[in-house]
Amino acid sequence: MNAGADNAAATARGAEIAVVRRPFLARRGASVAAVVLFAGLALLPVLASVLDDPFLVVTLTRVLIFAIAVLSLDFILGYGAMVSFGHAAFLGLGAYAVAIPAAHGVEDIFIQTAIAIVVCGVFALVTGAISLRTRGVYFIMITLAFGQMAYFFMTSLSAYGGDDGITLAQRSKVLGSEILENDVAFYYVVLAALVLAYIGLRAIIQARFGRVLRGTRENATRMQAIGFSPFSYQLTAYVIAGAIAGLAGVFLANQTEFVSPAYMSWQRSGELIVMVILGGMGTLIGAVPGALAFLLLEEWLAYFSQHWKLGLGVILVLVVLFTRGGIAGFVAKYLGGARP
């Protein structure tokens, strides 16, 4: 990197912040939107029973599960500027934290969740510590490579299905009860986890930790100059995001009752990034509309043709190329500020 370009970029970014800094009320707007959104989601099963459409709950459960993963990615991507291209690995590890203990008779969701969080946290700690020694292009490539490492590890683990994946006999138990077999109950559990994750991450963002993280996003050198060590903050954020994505993996395994390495393929990581962008980067709450929009778009395009990925690719390229300032600019322009 050369100093001139760095300075210019920093100045440009500084100007951008000054422009998009919004008044207190506008920031309050995000909280109001979150409350309205979550209240609406809480009422959804009622609507589904009125419409007599049980499939609605199942579809929305999937959306909420992905929203948890997208939320965690937005936390490091939107606030920490860490373009992690291996985030699906945590989703997959979380899913295997259900499947592998279940294969040995451990079916309690609390134990499985604890395993998922510990495994994902440790994986994030180790890979993050190495990845965060680098930045920019390097960071993207290394997170991608570590994601693939996890993918190949699971593919070669033939005792647990290997490439073919592993089918769960049933959903996890909650203290011995099989309440998660009920789709509506499962929906509320996922929704509760999403709300908790949102509230937790939001609190972190607004605390001193979040300010340091955002400061590092804008200019790591300056943060260092005023006495912070960006590395430890970024690594902590990376571990938190990994653990939350692992939680999403626990739910994903329970919903599909099937786990395979395909959950952690690098295409899935790319899709998670697309979901973050669709919902608005650095908004947290955007995770829900982002996941919803992507999964609906996927269904909708698949309805027209088996080559739906072609359509998705074209949309991606066109949006990036022909909206000023890329997708972030597009989001900021049409969907409200992307950077709080």
Closest CB 294 distance from other proteins, rounded Å: 13
Residue type, 262: A
Residue selected from 134, 167, 170, 224 as contacting other proteins according to rule CB under 8 A? 134
In angstroms, give the least distance from the CB of 170 to other proteins: 27
CB contact set of 220 (below 8 Å; sequence gap of 6+): 135, 230
Choose which of 10, 33, 83, 106 interacts with other proteins (CB under 8 A): 83
Q: Is residue 229 a contact point for other proteins (CB under 8 A)?
A: no
Regarding 309 and contact with other proteins (CB under 8 A), the answer is yes
Does 184 interact with other proteins (rule: CB under 8 A)? no
Of 16, 270, 298, 335, the one binding other proteins by CB under 8 A: 270
Neighbours of 244 (CB within 10 A): 27
Please enumerate, as own/partner, the contacts of 202-206 that have beta carbons within 8 Å and a separation of 24 or more: 202/284, 204/75, 204/240, 205/75, 205/79, 205/284
Among 18, 50, 226, 321, binds other proteins (CB under 8 A): 321
The smaller minimum CB distance to other proteins, of residues 67 and 331, is found at: 331
Question: Taking contact as CB under 8 A, which single stretch among the options 167-175, 220-228, 244-252, 309-317 is the one that binds other proteins?
Answer: 309-317
Residue whose CB is less far from other proteins, 296 or 314: 314
d(Cα 71, Cα 241) in Å, to the nearest integer?
Answer: 8
Taking Cα atoms as reference points, which of 191, 175, 183, 157 lies closest to residue 257? 183
Instruction: Give Cα 68 to chain centroid, integer Å.
Output: 6
Angstrom CA distances, 170 to 103, 110, 111, 181, stand at: 11, 15, 16, 8
Least spacing, CB of residue 202 vs other proteins, in Å: 22
Q: How far is the CB of 289 from other proteins (least distance, A)?
A: 18
Of positions 59, 125, 153, 220, contacts other proteins by CB under 8 A? 153
145 in contact with other proteins (CB under 8 A): yes
CA 130 to chain centre: 21
d(CA 250, CA 98): 6
CA distance 154 to 134: 26
Among 10, 122, 125, 141, which residue interacts with other proteins (rule: CB under 8 A)?
A: 141
Q: Are 281 and 74 in contact (CB under 8 A)?
A: yes
Pattern 277-296, other proteins, x by CB under 8 A: x---x---------------
Q: Minimum distance between the CB of residue 141 and other proteins, rounded to whole angstroms?
A: 4
Judged by CB under 8 A, which of 72, 113, 155, 254 binds other proteins?
A: 155
Q: What is the DSSP string of 61-83?
A: HHHHHHHHHHHHHHHHHHTT---
Q: Which is nearer to other proteins, 61 or 265 (CB)?
A: 265
Q: Which of 31, 156, 221, 232 binds other proteins (CB under 8 A)?
A: 156
Yes or no: say if 285 and 199 are a contact pair by the CB < 8 Å rule: no
Q: How far apart are CA 290 and CA 73, in angstroms?
A: 12
Which part of the chain contacts other proteins (CB under 8 A), choosing from 112-120, 231-239, 292-300, 322-330? 322-330
| Count of residues that bind other proteins according to CB under 8 A | 51
Name the residue nearer to other proteins (CB basis): 239 or 327. 327
Which residue matches tokens 């939001």? 202
Residue 104 sits in the site that holds other proteins (CB under 8 A): no
CA distance 255 to 91: 13
Which residues contact other proteins (rule: CB under 8 A)?
Answer: 1-2, 4-5, 77, 83, 85, 127, 130, 133-134, 136-138, 140-142, 144-146, 148-149, 152-153, 155-159, 266-267, 270, 273-274, 277, 281, 307, 309-310, 312-317, 319-321, 326-328
